[in-house]
Amino acid sequence: MTQDMTKVVQKALKNQNLAGILDRWDYPTARAKAYEGVDFQALRNKIADIKGGAADHLMDLAQTFKKNAEANGVKVFIAKSADEAKQYIANLCKEKSVKKIVKSKSMATEEIHLNHFLEQQGIDSDETDLGEWICQLAHQTPSHMVMPALHLTKEEVSDLFAQEVKRPLDNDIQKLVKVARNEIREKFFAADLGISGANMAIAETGTIVICTNEGNARLVTTLPKVHVALVGLEKLIPNYEDAAPILAALPRSATSQLLTSYTSFISAPTPDENGSIKELHVVLMDNNRTAMAADPKFKEALQCIRCASCLNVCPVYRLVTGHVFGDIYTGGIGTILTAWFNELKSAEDIQALCIGCDKCKDVCPGKIDIPALILELRHRTTQKEGLSFIYKSALQVINNRKVFHSMLRAASFVQKPFVKDGFIRHLPMFLSNLSEYRSLPSIAPVAFRDIFKTIKQPKCSEKAVFFAGCAIDFVYPKTGQAIVTILNKAGIEVVFPQDQSCCGIPHWGSGSFDMAADAAERNIKPLLECNPDYVVVSCASCTTALKKEWAEVLHAEKRDDLINDANKVAEKTYMFTELVSKLIKEKRLTPKQGVQISELTYHDSCHAKRHVGISQEPRDALSAAGYHITEMKECDTCCGMGGSYTVKQPDISMQMLKRKLENIEATGAQFVSAECPGCLIQLGGGLDKAGSKIKAVHPAELMLDKFE
């Protein structure tokens, strides 16, 4: 990330209004209530089918729309580029001697910077929706696709309005709205032309659909003698009935409403007050959308209905908002659209802000895998631009087992002057910022791979290969010992291949699929060598690699000869608590009776819950082992670790950690647990730095003495 972007992030994090604005709304609760009684999965499947099918035939639908709309008296122009769209509107304005324009919400006009272009032609273009008007007065772009002025306080808005009306104003919101209404109302009557966007364009009937809450779009589209709708090709849908599922999802996902206040279907121009027919022009804009639709991976992004629910749940956006995390289109989906509608290079800094927690994927009504598409952007950027020398070198070291492990062993000696009670709380000079907000875990004096050789196990008929991952191997070897002990009690002998190395998740997350494939290739053979009954992993990130990513990255790198073996590993892979829960149900592990109940709260790792779907199993296993679980607020919201994210984006990471620690402390629990060593490093270090009595402990260590 560039130095300039780092400064912008730091500035945004200091703005307390930005950090708290979405929290005051409590979007998740409001959204859940709005969707009560609605089968969200079925609804999003319908939308994905409609929009995905439309993306396969964009130009055909555009021609069908044009034919049917023109039969109704509408003038339709298909613009290949942003310049063509702007020029068409400019020529129309010149033809009609237009001097004043009123606009209603349209992200497409923001995309092509239409206001600025028209201003250069000597044409005043006034926004009429409240949020857009505020942004126009502030000379800013929208920070949110549905609530564009979300980032501004009422005091800032009051100052903007006071400058506009040239008199002092107070900060009462209702009074400010009245001022805006009075100022904007006259503009409708003075305008020569109205410009709107559209939420949908129905090919079957040549109809555009506009959804708003303020009603200004109806004035924009009816009062001026000429109405121009600028519509991206991705808004096309085949049939009239296809609008229904989108109309059901859009308000619920955007603002947690059951319906928008105004939904307008416009199929033809209407009579003017003197009896003449007004002009209606629809500009269908491509601007690289057909190229996007032709891309087998990115076509999916055209299923977006612009509800912005992905922004509302994003832990990064919540801290910095759209003027940092985005360009014209904001947040995760904005990163993808920016890369296509502008250029790949323009999204380079923005995509680095995504932590890959997958929360946006869960709520997207268009069923878009936004994190996967951002990862693909990283992959393509890496292929085109390469990684920085330092980062590439670090990944190469991690991929070299002997060198990496030798460095970790050496570090265990070098760290000794700084270690106390298993933590490094202070580091000297230029390293001091690494331990500013959290203590760092010390590297274990003896790695698990060395300890394992000394563990005596009973001979059992079933075998489990244990894939430890780097953190358990070199930071939390006691967790590894606990796993071996518990599995032995269930009649499972544990095998630890000494040739195992990093799972490749750091390489995969950086977009370096070739190095991730190297990691998969090195590990597959050692894991399958003894033909185990299980492959046990106790790191959520590593579990994701084994269960999902190895086969995918090998396929991406055309190493198809290894995919069958990668799938065998995936089929045998269990996250530790997943297997323990299974063994308890099979009565192969028997919890001790009469154990003292301890209070516990559980943090769901992003990889565990949303990548491999493991959330209830650790709770079941810990409850059976005698722990009472008090759920924390936002138990499945990212803690900010994100693998290397905490190094690349330390300021954002630490703000996310601060929020998570507050939620943990509020439970009053004795322990917080997570089946992800990375999360434990983040949470444990944060709790230690804060002087908390709560300890972050892996489920395996908590359950060590809890079974017969």
Residues 346-363, mean pLDDT to the nearest whole number: 87
Q: List, edge to edge, every strand of the sheet that includes 695-697.
A: 627-629, 598-602, 671-673, 695-697
Tokens of 691: 């002087």
Q: To the nearest whole number, what is the mean pLDDT of the chain?
A: 92
Judged against a pLDDT cut of 70, whether residue 2 lies above it is answered with no
Closest residue by Cα to residue 667 from 615, 599, 597: 599
Alpha-carbon distances of 479 from 227, 646, 674, 700, rounded to whole Å: 67, 23, 12, 6
Asked if residues 91 and 102 have their Cβ atoms less than 8 Å apart, the reply is no
Alpha-carbon distances of 470 from 86, 218, 322, 516, 536, rounded to whole Å: 54, 60, 35, 15, 14
Position 39, amino acid? D
Instruction: Please indicate, yes or no, whether the overall pTM of this predicted structure exceeds 0.75.
Output: yes
Identify the weakest region by mean pLDDT among 16-20, 360-364, 520-524, 606-610.
16-20
Judged against a pLDDT cut of 70, whether residue 311 lies above it is answered with yes
- For the segment 474-504, what is each residue's pLDDT rounded down to a tens digit? 999 999 999 999 999 999 999 999 999 999 9
DSSP classification of residue 631: P
The rounded percent of the chain whose pLDDT value lies above 70 is 97
| Residue for token pair 């800013």 | 140
Give the pLDDT confidence score for residue 4 in this predicted structure. 77
- Distance, in Å, from the CA atom of 548 to the CA atom of 544, rounded to the nearest integer, reads 5
- Distance, in Å, from the CA atom of 538 to the CA atom of 536, rounded to the nearest integer, reads 7
Give the pLDDT confidence score for residue 432 in this predicted structure. 60
Identify the weakest region by mean pLDDT among 9-23, 533-547, 619-633, 636-650.
9-23
- Distance, in Å, from the CA atom of 201 to the CA atom of 204, rounded to the nearest integer, reads 9
Judged against a pLDDT cut of 80, whether residue 427 lies above it is answered with no
58 sits in which H/E element: helix 58-71
Judged against a pLDDT cut of 60, whether residue 1 lies above it is answered with no
Position 407, amino acid? M
Tokens of 320: 């910095």
- For the segment 21-77, what is each residue's pLDDT rounded down to a tens digit? 777 788 899 999 999 999 999 999 999 999 999 999 999 999 999 999 999 999 999
- Distance, in Å, from the CA atom of 599 to the CA atom of 576, rounded to the nearest integer, reads 21
Judged against a pLDDT cut of 70, whether residue 184 lies above it is answered with yes
Judged against a pLDDT cut of 70, whether residue 579 lies above it is answered with yes
Angle, helices 3-13 vs 16-25, to 10°: value is: 60
Give the pLDDT confidence score for residue 410 in this predicted structure. 77
- Ranges of CATH 3.40.50.10420 domains, the chain: 3-290
Alpha-carbon distances of 385 from 14, 340, 381, rounded to whole Å: 32, 17, 6
Tokens of 269: 């121009």
The rounded percent of the chain whose pLDDT value lies above 90 is 73
Q: How confident is the model at residue 523 (pLDDT cuts 50, 70, 90)?
A: very high
- For the segment 254-285, what is each residue's pLDDT rounded down to a tens digit? 999 998 889 999 999 988 888 889 999 999 99
Three-class secondary structure of residue 501 per DSSP = coil
- Distance, in Å, from the CA atom of 389 to the CA atom of 435, rounded to the nearest integer, reads 25
Q: How confident is the model at residue 19 (pLDDT cuts 50, 70, 90)?
A: low
- For the segment 405-418, what is each residue's pLDDT rounded down to a tens digit? 787 777 777 777 77
- For the segment 205-244, what is each residue's pLDDT rounded down to a tens digit? 999 999 999 889 999 999 999 999 999 999 999 999 999 9
Judged against a pLDDT cut of 60, whether residue 647 lies above it is answered with yes
- What is the CATH superfamily name and number for domain 3-290? NagB/RpiA/CoA transferase-like (3.40.50.10420)
| Residue for token pair 């990212």 | 638
3-class SS shares of the chain: helix, strand, coil, % to 5? 55, 15, 35
